[in-house]
Amino acid sequence: MKKKLTIAAIVAGMGIMGATGVYAGTNLQQIKAALNYGIGIEVNGQAYTAKDANGKTLAPITYNGTTYLPVRAIGEALNTPIAYDAAASKVKIGSTGASSSSTSGSSSTSSTGTSNVQRPQHIPADFPIPADAKVFDVIESSKDGVKSVVFSYLTKQGLEQIGNNYKQYFVSKGATKQYEEIKSDGFTVIDSGSNFSVTATGQPGKGDKQGFNEVNIIWQGQ
């Protein structure tokens, strides 16, 4: 059956990926936009509420008369694969964006429907990532010697163990400002030093990620 997306306003342009944009890059331009809670979304005649991987409700964004939707959430609603190719800085929509296998080992689709890609290039070589991690949503940039990366991963490793590993690692790297809340069911680590800043959060996976723990990393450093 052909799927139809109905939106209670004229919507143009491609949606915005759900990664956190707190890094600088040569292709990024700051804008002032508004979260538009007045726009409703219907998918196949049914009311639909877009949510991120943590279950937080997402609102459309209106900018210069154009309304943008979160592409990953809409893709999931339409059962359409969404993937981000970090090397090419390209969002891929449809079956070509998430192949079932890859001979190069650079990307593949896991049983949870996320894209398993290589370890991000812009984090330190010793940055802790569990051996079983399925990495996805990688966005990297580099400017004036400062490297930035935003990525997520799924793992079976316990959240408390991961949180403590990060706490110890960032202390060893010279963290001078630290905020750490680490529990068995989730963690938040916000640390910074003379040449790096990082935010790491972890929580149990939801939806098709149940059975895994999801960790989100925002890293900037030299």
pLDDT in tens, 48-71: 888 877 778 888 888 887 888 888
| pLDDT class of 96 with cuts at 50, 70, 90 | low
- CA angle, 55 as apex, 16 and 41 as ends, to 5°? 55
What is the reported pLDDT for 98?
A: 37
Percent of the chain topping pLDDT 70? 73
Mean pLDDT of 95-99: 45
Farthest-apart Cα atoms in the chain, separation: 57
Mean pLDDT of 73-100: 66
Confidence of residue 86 (pLDDT cuts 50, 70, 90): low
pTM: 0.53
Q: How far apart are CA 188 and CA 163, in angstroms?
A: 7
Angstrom distance (rounded) from CA 207 to CA 214: 12
Domain boundaries, the chain: 5-221
